[in-house]
């Protein structure tokens, strides 16, 4: 069986490539302390395992647990959550009306019964406050008709 010159170069090239690859892998393994290949990044973890391995601390989000009283709806609960939310920001009555509406529109529309608990995340209140602070004068003027009914 005769091997032509092209086949020889092809074989030599692949043999050399395999040798370099194995040599590189062995040098990496040799430099990994305690054979911890995962920590050294030589092997990857599945998505689930890598998520479990991450030690990123997520900031705690405060949740306001509002218990439904007789005759209350989501707007009432949003109003109470806004009152419980301690903020140094001064809000006028029209901004408060906007925030209540902002919150209640983003909560699940469910039938409420006395004793039910509705969770309102602090960041939802903060989003409402941020948007309320950006209201234009004509928008605040429009909300005045509603604020006069609530804040007499």
Q: Could you count the other beta carbons within 10 Å of the beta carbon of residue 132?
A: 24
Q: Give the tens place of pLDDT for each residue, 2-52.
A: 666 667 667 777 777 777 777 676 666 665 555 554 454 544 445 555 555
Tokens linked to 40: 């050294």
Q: Give the tens place of pLDDT for each residue, 50-103.
A: 555 555 666 677 899 999 999 999 999 999 999 999 778 899 999 999 999 999
End-to-end CA distance of the chain: 104
Q: For the whole model, what pTM was predicted?
A: 0.60
Q: What whole-number distance in Å separates Cα of residue 67 and Cα of residue 114?
A: 8
Tokens linked to 8: 């020889």
pLDDT recorded at residue 29? 60
- Provide the residue count of the chain: 152
Q: In the chain, at which residue ranges do the beta strands (DSSP E only) sit? A: 63-67, 117-121
Helix, strand, coil content of the chain in percent (nearest 5): 60, 5, 35
């Amino acid at each position: 069986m005769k091997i032509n010159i092209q086949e020889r170069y092809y074989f030599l090239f692949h043999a050399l490539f395999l040798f370099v690859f194995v040599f590189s892998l062995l040098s990496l393994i040799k430099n990994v302390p305690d054979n911890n290949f995962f920590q050294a990044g030589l092997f990857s973890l599945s998505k689930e395992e890598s998520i479990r391995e991450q030690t990123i601390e997520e900031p705690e989000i405060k949740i306001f647990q509002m218990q439904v009283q007789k005759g209350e709806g989501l707007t009432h609960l949003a109003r109470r959550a806004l009152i419980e939310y301690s903020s140094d920001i001064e809000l006028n009555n029209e901004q408060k009306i906007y925030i209540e509406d902002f919150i209640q529109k983003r909560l699940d529309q469910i039938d409420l019964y006395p004793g039910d608990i509705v969770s309102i995340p602090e960041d939802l209140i903060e989003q409402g406050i941020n948007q309320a602070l950006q209201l234009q004068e004509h928008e605040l003027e429009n909300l005045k008709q509603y604020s006069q009914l609530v804040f007499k």
